[in-house]
């Protein structure tokens, strides 16, 4: 059996091969520009070293690169060598930082067993992981495009920012994008009549109370506003059109990837298990399964290992009488952020999660700390369900009996108490009072005033 170490870069691969005694059998450098198939060249190099080349164990620091994935797909055994541990070995033994020396170091660590076997997910789950990462990046680009458009409008047309509240989608809504594309400046917007606004809103997909919405927008655009020089405003309008085009592209890309994500998420073997957990929708469920994979038992071995990989298990440093518990930073950032969002969502949908979160907050934990501890319970329960095939049960996960009288129940706190509701009604009864002014005075949204004070949903 041979033990190989591979040090990769963006232009070539350095390979060192050892035997069982640790003697160097051969070294080579595979340049990408000179070899159309580095895997075939690597296997050819191993053939020249002996008949046992098929049993070679190849260690590499990044198993996500194309060479490692293709080598594993060809049937060769690939193991992962931790880069941080390799750097510590290099510093401890005084090994120079060169590509050739790094390849030998990785090969020696592979020989010593200081590596982790590579557990490859099924092709469908790997495809889900790729689509999930693309969807996450598309959502980030969409948010960045919205912020860029909002910042540009604030500089020369603040009324357009508040024309579409967050309750109807804000600047991301199709109606806002359609109107801004037709009138990217205050002067052009003021020339829009009701008929033109109705046409734009209808083309954007609005079906209810189109006339009322057109009149509302017309009144906003007709109000006197601070104006710039016409030439400067035209330049600002040009920039707004380009920002709108970037936002349209980001929204379209996100919607396309969302549909693809839903299809691949539904085909995952653990889809039915995760979809039963309260508070986990399509996006969060797909993110979770994309990072965990379909072989958690082989890949992690235990729920504690998965919790450490997710960054929700603390690190304990102890020496003599000194002990310190610190935040685990060496973890999967994608899974950690996803688990944070899952815990935040479950607080509003799971009685057990909400009760546990309130207990941690009462004990003195900060908001992020309480969510991290809740995320640890969630990931341990999820691993147990995946390993045993037992469906998720909120009562079992958080240890309560739903049949008893004092069982945890979802408590939804009203945004306004009784005193504030009475005060809001008195304010609205005054002559000339508006829902907008009342909502601003109470520090809540207009939807809250419509729903909790007037007792009716706001028409859109």
Residue 327 has pLDDT above 50, yes or no: yes
- The answer to whether 285 and 258 are in contact (CB under 8 A) is no
**pLDDT digit string (tens) for 18-68?**
999 999 999 999 999 888 899 999 999 999 998 888 889 999 999 989 999
Residue with token string 């059996």: 1
**pLDDT digit string (tens) for 141-194?**
999 999 999 999 999 999 999 898 877 788 999 999 999 999 999 999 999 999
Q: What pLDDT sits at residue 450? A: 85
Residue 414 has pLDDT above 80, yes or no: no
- Of 18-32, 278-292, 440-454, minimum mean pLDDT range: 440-454
Sign of CA dihedral 213, 215, 221, 224: negative
| Cα atoms in the Cβ-side hemisphere of radius 13 Å centred on 14 | 14
Residue 457 has pLDDT above 70, yes or no: no
Specify the long-range contacts of residues 425-432, CB closer than 8 Å, at least 24 apart: 425/453, 428/453, 428/454
Stated length of the chain: 460
Q: How confident is the model at residue 81 (pLDDT cuts 50, 70, 90)?
A: very high
Q: Which of the two residues, 181 and 458, has the higher pLDDT score?
A: 181
Enumerate residues 6+ apart whose C-beta is below 8 A from 87.
none
Coil, strand or helix at 420: helix
Q: How confident is the model at residue 330 (pLDDT cuts 50, 70, 90)?
A: confident
Please compute the mean of the pLDDT values over residues 313-317 and round it to a whole number: 86
Write the DSSP string, 206-265: --SSHHHHHHHHHHHHHS------HHHHHHHHHHHHHHHHHHHHHHHHHHHHHHHHHHHH
Looking at every residue in the chain, the average pLDDT score rounds to 91
Q: What pLDDT sits at residue 240? A: 95
Q: Phi then psi for 65, rounded to 5 degrees?
A: -70, 160
Please compute the mean of the pLDDT values over residues 444-458 and round it to a whole number: 78
pTM of the model: 0.82
Coil, strand or helix at 281: coil
| Highest-confidence segment of 106-120, 130-144, 289-303, 403-417 | 130-144
Angle at 103 between CA 99 and CA 107, to 5 degrees: 170
Please compute the mean of the pLDDT values over residues 343-353 and round it to a whole number: 93
Q: What pLDDT sits at residue 460? A: 45
| CA dist., res. 108 & res. 85, Å (int) | 13
Q: Phi then psi for 314, rounded to 5 degrees?
A: -70, 160
Q: What pLDDT sits at residue 304? A: 93
- Of 28-37, 70-79, 196-205, 323-332, minimum mean pLDDT range: 323-332
**pLDDT digit string (tens) for 196-247?**
999 999 999 999 889 999 999 999 999 888 888 999 999 999 999 999 999 9
Q: What pLDDT sits at residue 38? A: 93
Q: Per the structure block, which two tokens stand in for 318?
A: 């102890």
Q: What pLDDT sits at residue 454? A: 84
- Of 4-13, 280-289, 312-321, 371-380, minimum mean pLDDT range: 312-321
What angle separates helix 367-388 from helix 282-292, to the nearest 10 degrees?
70
């Amino acid at each position: 059996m041979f033990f190989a170490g591979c040090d990769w870069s963006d232009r070539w691969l350095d390979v060192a091969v050892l035997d069982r005694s640790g003697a160097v059998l051969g070294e080579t450098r595979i340049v990408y520009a000179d070899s159309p198939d580095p895997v075939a060249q690597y296997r050819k190099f191993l053939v020249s070293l002996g008949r046992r080349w098929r049993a070679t164990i190849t260690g590499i620091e990044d198993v996500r690169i194309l060479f490692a994935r293709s080598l594993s797909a060809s049937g060769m055994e690939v193991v992962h060598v931790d880069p941080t541990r390799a750097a510590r070995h290099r510093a401890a033994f005084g090994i120079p930082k060169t590509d050739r020396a790094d390849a030998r170091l990785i090969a020696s660590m592979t020989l010593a067993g200081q590596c982790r076997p590579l557990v490859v997910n099924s092709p469908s789950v790997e495809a889900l992981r790729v689509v999930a990462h693309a969807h996450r990046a598309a959502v980030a680009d969409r948010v960045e495009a919205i912020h860029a458009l909002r910042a540009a409008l604030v500089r020369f047309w603040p009324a357009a920012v508040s024309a579409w509240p967050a309750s109807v989608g804000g600047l991301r809504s199709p109606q806002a994008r359609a109107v801004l594309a037709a009138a990217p400046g205050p002067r052009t917007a003021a020339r829009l009549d009701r008929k033109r606004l109705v046409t734009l809103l209808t083309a954007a997909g609005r079906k209810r109370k189109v006339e009322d919405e057109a009149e509302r927008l017309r009144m906003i655009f007709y109000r006197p506003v601070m104006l710039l020089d016409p030439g400067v405003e035209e330049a600002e309008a040009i920039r707004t059109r380009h920002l709108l085009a970037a936002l349209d592209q980001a929204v379209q890309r996100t919607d396309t990837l969302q549909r693809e994500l839903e299809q691949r998420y539904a085909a995952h073997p653990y889809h039915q298990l995760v979809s039963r957990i309260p508070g986990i929708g399509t996006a969060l469920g797909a993110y979770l399964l994309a990072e965990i994979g379909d072989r958690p038992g082989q890949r992690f071995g235990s729920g504690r290992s998965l919790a450490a990989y997710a960054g929700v298990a603390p690190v304990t440093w102890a020496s003599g009488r000194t002990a310190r518990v610190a935040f685990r930073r060496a973890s999967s950032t994608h899974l950690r952020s996803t688990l944070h969002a899952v815990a935040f969502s479950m607080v509003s949908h799971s009685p057990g999660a909400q009760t546990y979160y309130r207990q941690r907050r009462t004990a003195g934990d900060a908001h992020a700390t309480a969510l991290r501890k809740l995320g640890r319970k969630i990931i341990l329960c999820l691993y147990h369900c995946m390993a045993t095939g037992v469906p998720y049960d909120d009562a079992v996960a958080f240890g309560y009996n739903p049949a008893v009288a004092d069982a945890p129940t979802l408590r939804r706190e009203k945004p306004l108490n009784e005193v504030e509701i009475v005060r809001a009604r008195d304010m609205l009864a005054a002559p000339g009072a508006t829902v907008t002014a009342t909502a601003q005075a109470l520090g809540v949204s207009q939807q809250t005033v419509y729903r909790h004070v007037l007792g009716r949903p706001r028409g859109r």
